[in-house]
Structure 1
């Protein structure tokens, strides 16, 4: 039995985690029960207790959007109050797709010796270098690295391959949330980036992930050998294969996960697209265009005005518009656009669409407004101490 002091420390840790997360459209702290089995790694005591208390991090908005996209049954008029489709194991979308939807926020990663020196709440070097880092297995390490990266990102660029005098190396998680991989969340990697450039990175990523999901890129392909500018720029210096990117720690054939990498990659596509409808990530015009996407029966979503950059945002303000309340705000009038687009992508996937067929629709989803502008934190989300030039 834990001491009272240890229990209080654990409770404080949970509260800190609950109040400090800044992610994309929110995800639940734990995956499906099947995901626990898929990774062959049991959840830590912290994650189990926090999940039981229901206070850790957020509500599973990404998961709910995905299940709704797979036609989980709910009356649209009651969406704001009917949370059935947000259940951990609803089962409409496969657990492999849900794993992929969660991957953009929680990619597994390993640390080099010089990256593991993270001290947390009086504990020294809380990271285990011999184990793949996942939130559920090394929560103190994960959180320590997350907060540390948030501080460092204020003055340094967090990168993988593209090292400069003002950059520091990051892992997949810190690069995704604070660094050169923010396009995974429908965001710009920094302020003052032209929207055409951010759009190109996002579409390159979607091309890569879609081609993995459609078997146009095999799991054993080296990332450096893929003819894709964004993949080459951000992963070309590595010896990673596709399977290492998505399944680190469980990429061995015996795990069986490799056979499901198509579903996992498709879930990652969904996450990036869904995030582009979160106001803290991407500013779109107030209303959809009313037009159809060329060459399809799908409606064109509201055009994009600005891709935001997270570095100078206030985490609390960012958080508010990634919530379930924000997602369901207009549900009495129409389905959230994130749900509609997710349904369309499931339809394309079920039709066996290759990238050549899916690309025109995804380009349409990321149509830029004539009022487009350079990336910034967004006036609504800017930290009060942040100069306007950032």
Structure 2
């Protein structure tokens, strides 16, 4: 039996020979380690966008000075970006890991819209001032001090790094530990935009390893500063909406039977079930096949920004239940081949705008790469 069918002639013509060999080798190794698999995967027309990682920076170029030229970023004016740059530069000087920069920028977005507010009369919440709406009466400093972006940022970081385990917390929880806001969940909605600001102003630092101040790209299994990590350590064997599978709403990662499946980011479990539990011939407690419908045992997780990730074909009942809060990198299940599957692997999807249907699906390769957790690079 041929493990990997030959790529179609047109796909081979478009791709460099080296890329074809690399993808084929990755898929072969993935299949060989999957003992007990039922049949081979079909390596189907992976796009060059799926295979090639762009040369993004990971923060090593350093943040832009707050007094320098600012990039154009939709939704933010020059003054707001200068304030964000000031926040980021203070974090860098204090050697706070880049995840702290993302938390700080998101916090200032919620508290002040990145605007250095003075006294606003009746619109003030008590005596709150500055980017972080810090209160002089609560010991944050004098009114003049908390309206100094560098001072205010330093005070924020000093409190943040004293929070035990802040590097592993969801952004909104870490921010709330510092701010003690009356709206503790409000910070989450700024997470994606804050990460993009940090990327724009600090050479892609939101893609760097979140728990390290070294400003290096994430290694396999690291959680990036933007809060994302790879769900499995495995090569890519089938791409998103390829020519031969236009209805394939995710990607297939050739992990071995029994490998851990990890939550790609912090969030809340909204689905945890067998896709065909109501039909006895297709129950999930057995290997599936190409003629078996559905995802098998699967999980959907809802993340900040109305993002949903999906994890299909688990070996057993998932390790998480609906309503559970999970951290990035937390085990949620085990790789198997239940449902519509021809061998052990993880089918992984990313959906935007809270839309679990095919209309909300986006290319996971691009999404994860942008967040510093590229898929399909193996171990």
If the length of structure 1 is used for normalisation, what is the TM-score?
A: 0.24
Say which structure is richer in helix. Answer: 1
Of structures 1 and 2, the larger Rg is shown by 2
Say which structure is richer in strand. Answer: 2
Tell me: higher relative CO, structure 1 or 2? Use CA pairs within 8 A at least 6 residues apart.
1
If the length of structure 2 is used for normalisation, what is the TM-score?
A: 0.25
